Chains A and B, each alone.
Chain A
Amino acid sequence: MRSRLVRAALSKVPAGFPWTAPTWPTSLPRPAARGGLGAAYDTTWARTPVARAVRAALLEAVGRPVSSLVASPEVRGLDRLGELEAPAIFVANHSSHLDTLLVLSVLPPRFRHASIVAAGADYFFDRGWKAVVSAGLLGAIPMERQRVNRQSSEMAAERLAEGWNLIIFPEGGRSPDGWAQPFRAGAAHLWIQSGVPVVPIHISGTRAILPKGTVRVRRAPTVVTFGAPVRARGGEDARRFAVRVEQAVAQLADESATDWWSARLRASADSTPPLQGPEGSGWRRSWALPANDGRSRSDSKRWPGV
């Protein structure tokens, strides 16, 4: 009874701006963070043995049970990582803050506790407390999102060279409407430079749990699909490689929504549905979202069962 009342009260709180903080237009530069913060934040302390042990314990004791309770992840394609050795770069679509915890939770143990996460320097490292929480709990390193920044790219390359795995969301931010944004060539540049295999991952369902612009969490099933590792071809430039990895994730999305064989047939015919959704704007794009991708967060069925 009580939880129903709480839920009813919460359901009356509208989601999104201006109830939550505004998002920042991609085309505009964000003001520089204060000294020692942002891309300049030093995360070395978060990779010391003690910090790693605490983080691993928290992930096992709290993070994974919470992830399992809230997201009930169904993991597919882990067998494709059978031969893979660290370091690797895990690349996923991004529509919720929960994505990071989910990926960390379902990674095989050999990667799980040896992974760091590329996080927006302007968002996760703009305040002291946010930087400590991000680096300490997630092992995050700051990544400049608004412009190409050699410092954060080199920092990530150094960590890969040290043997760390890197989880990165190359859209540069969470999806505002459920459809993916283009993968950025800046991220692909790092993948090519490091020469490390890239594992495409598709995540579906997290937007229904915690979409951008809200702080309310509600339970929903999720599917995490791992793809076969890919490497840049000789002479392939960053822009093309970014498109190829995006297509790999799109094929995983198709596979997640239908089945492997149908997705393969469509991929061969070059007719995989684009990750960025249909053209146009407004309600048509949200209407075209798959049902489990947060089109509706309502508890009731959208359509009566017959």
Chain B
Amino acid sequence: MTAGRSGTVGRPGLVLEVDRSTPPTMFWHGDGFRMERLPVGSRVVYPPEPAVPLSDPTAAIREALENPLGDSKPLSALLRAGMRLTIAFDDVSLPLPPMQAPDVRQQVIEAVLDEAARAGVDDVVLVAALALHRRLTEAELRHVLGDRIYDAFAPTGRLTQHDAEDHDNLIHLGQTDRGEDVELNKRAATSDLLVYVNINLVSMDGGHKSVATGLASYRSLRHHHNTHTMVHSRSFMDPASSELHSSNWRMGRLIRDAGVKIFQIETTLDGRSFPDAYGFLNRREWEWKARDRATFLGAKTALDRLPPRLAQTMMQRTRSPYRLTSVQAGEVEAVHDRTIDVVLNQQRVVVEGQADILTMGLTYLGPYNVNSIMNPVLVACLGLGYFFNSYIGKPLVRQGGVVIMSHPTPWAFDPVHHPSYIDFFERVLTETTDPAEMEAKFEESFATDPWYIHLYRTGNAYHGVHPFYMWYWTAHALDHLGAVIVVGGERRAVRRLGFRSASTMQDALEIASDVVGRDPTLTHLHTPPLLMADVR
């Protein structure tokens, strides 16, 4: 049965060869923008335009719940009075930017709760699947779930956030055939039904990774969040070639075999990541109308002149007008296969061959700094983790090539959200930038530090080990590349990361010529919307 209709794909992506008539290319530069004239002959990879959303998302959600994929029964048939039902959902790291209300999780969870109410289920608990991410604030929970759900569940303690350090509420389900421990949230693992509500912004999200990562403990996560796994995930955005996903799938199957009944709900969005006020972000430069140019110039001028904190606040308040393009429900693997098809259909761009240089403009926002500061470690993770790995087949840049990223990279940290990042930056990166070495020497002490654990459990801090994971995210890129150059970044911070700093793109290209010669090929990754480069 078809449990969701995938949105029609918009205008396909494009690989533009820059000629002398090509207008300058827009680069994100943190809270602002840069216009760069790329050398003639460079290629710019433009993502497909946003897909056409579902006309009636509420009906599509209900249809998906009643027509599940795989060997799952419809949700209504799985619910009964007297059962223990747990509903887990993704945290604020998805989607990016946070979407305008109502959030898709609210829409889906309300539909699930309607079914539960109809079946007379009393014992319902909601869990934010944080893994080692920071706890959500009340405002964030209200935004994700809506006031109706929050007010009904939070006052009675039935709206919870997963705590990977609460050993009384974790359960060890066993080890995979590779010796990987699987330790999960006890309430979720011991419920009669675990419903997981997912947002699949990119192909990395969802599948067995939802439960096996989102509701796991450090003891479990360390088996796949490590240097070895990340170097062998090529890429971690391509589940079929990702060691990260292989490990999660082994764990997911162990969870299933241990008797945990999961009803997976996965959703895809249309890629319309910025509102009309930033319409120029969704258009290709040569198609900018007078209005796009005016709004670009207005936004750029304001952001360049505002104090950094104000500019940051202005951008962090952006809410995306994402709309649902598909919803799938049922058995985890069957659901995820369909979801991956939809995501790749919306984001795939075929690119012929690798380049010597890959350029990218990095935004003010990554998964781990929603309502927060993009610190230098997160800059590295966004560029060399997420964007570098946005490929199927082989990387956009050749082995030994150069990545040029544009970002101001300020030496700034959020002490509430990222306390361990500060020490990681000061103590670890001053000694080594080698992921394997820091994993061996430092990870354990950060992961078990009682102060970080206290802040993670009671405040809104990422777990002590989280900055290591962000650095491991870059391991494949660091292993692959000859050099990394940051344009317009704060020099001290860039140097601390082990990268080179350049004032302008022209300077960066000159510096890159030391590594790739004087006549390099260049590919630029143009975002948003997000794209997956199918490099052949």
Interface residues of chain A, those whose CB is within 8 Å of chain B, are 16-19, 21-28, 173, 175-177, 181, 281-283
In whole angstroms, what is the CA distance A230 to B285 when docked? 41
The listed residue (B17, B20, B285, B509) touching A22 by CB distance below 8 A is: B285
**B290–chain A nearest beta-carbon distance, Å:** 8
Q: Is there contact, CB below 8 Å, between B286 and A18?
A: no
Complex A-B, nearest 10 residue pairs according to Cβ-Cβ distance, in ascending order: A22-B23, A281-B39, A18-B293, A17-B23, A176-B20, A25-B22, A22-B286, A23-B21, A26-B21, A26-B19
Report if A18-B39 is in contact (Cβ < 8 Å); known contacts: A25-B21, A176-B21, A282-B506: no
Contacts of A177 in B (CB 8 A): 20
Give the chain A neighbours of B24 by CB distance below 8 A: 16-18
Name 13 interchain pairs, CB-CB below 8 A, sorted by A.
A17-B285, A18-B35, A18-B288, A22-B285, A22-B293, A23-B22, A23-B23, A23-B286, A25-B286, A26-B19, A28-B16, A181-B20, A282-B506
Given A21-B293, A22-B288, 5 other A-B contacts at CB below 8 A?
A19-B293, A23-B21, A23-B22, A23-B23, A27-B17
Residues of B within 8 A of A28 (CB): 16, 286
Q: Which of B20, B22, B35, B285 has the most CB of A within 10 A?
A: B20
Q: A17-B24, A18-B293, A19-B297 are in contact. Are A25 and B19 (CB under 8 A)?
A: yes
**Cα–Cα, bound, A19→B296 (Å):** 10
Instruction: Note all chain B residues with C-beta closer than 8 A to A21.
Output: 290, 293
- Let me know if B21 and A24 touch, CB within 8 A: yes
Residues of B within 8 A of A18 (CB): 23-24, 35, 285, 288, 292-293, 296-297
Chain B residues with CB under 8 A of A281: 39-41
Give the residues from 254 to 301 in chain B that come closer than 8 angstroms, CB to CB, to chain A: 285-288, 290, 292-293, 296-297
Complex-state Cα separation, A19 to B288, whole angstroms: 11
Please indicate which of the listed interface residues B22, B35, B290, B509 has the most CB atoms of chain A within 10 Å of its own CB: B22
Tell whether, in the assembled complex, residue B18 and residue A25 are in contact, meaning their CB atoms are under 8 Å apart: yes
B contacts, CB < 8 Å to A:
16-24, 35, 39-41, 285-288, 290, 292-293, 296-297, 506, 509
On whether A27 and B20 interact (CB within 8 A), knowing A18-B35, A18-B293, A281-B39, the answer reads no
Report the minimum CB–CB distance from A126 to chain B (whole Å). 13
Return chain A residues, CB-CB under 8 Å to B296: 18
A26: chain B residues within 8 A (beta carbon): 19-21
User: Are B506 and A173 in contact, with the CB atoms below 8 A?
Assistant: no
Residues of A within 8 A of B17 (CB): 25, 27
B35 to A, closest residue via Cβ: A18
Question: Are B39 and A282 closer than 8 Å at their CB atoms?
Answer: yes
Which of A16, A27, A175, A282 contacts B19, CB < 8 Å?
A: A27
Report the separation of the CA atoms of residues A283 and B296 in the bound assembly, to the nearest whole angstrom: 26
Q: Tell me the smallest distance from the CB of B468 to a CB of chain A, in Å.
A: 40
Which residues of the partner chain B approach A181 to less than 8 Å between Cβ atoms? 20
The interface residues of chain A lying within 8 Å CB-to-CB of B21 are 23-26, 173, 176
Chain A residues with Cβ under 8 A from B39's Cβ? 281-282
Q: Which residue of B lies closest to A175 (CB)?
A: B20
CA distance A154 to B211 in the complex (A): 68
Nearest B residue to A279 by beta-carbon distance?
B519
Contacts of B16 in A (CB 8 A): 25, 27-28
**Cβ contacts under 8 Å, B286 to chain A:** 22-25, 28
B287 proximity list for chain A (CB < 8 A): 22
Please indicate the chain B residues that have their CB under 8 angstroms from the CB of A176 in the complex.
20-21
Q: Residue on A with the closest CB to B293? A: A18
Tell me the bound Cα distance from A149 to B391 in angstroms.
39
**Complex: A150 Cα to B297 Cα, angstroms:** 41
CA distance A188 to B296 in the complex (A): 41
Q: Which residue on A lies nearest to B39, using beta carbons? A: A281
A12 to B22, CA, bound (A): 24
CA A80 – CA B338 in complex, angstroms? 73
Closest chain A residue to B14 by CB distance?
Answer: A28
Nearest A residue to B44, CB-CB: A25
CB contacts (< 8 Å) of B506 on chain A: these are: 282-283
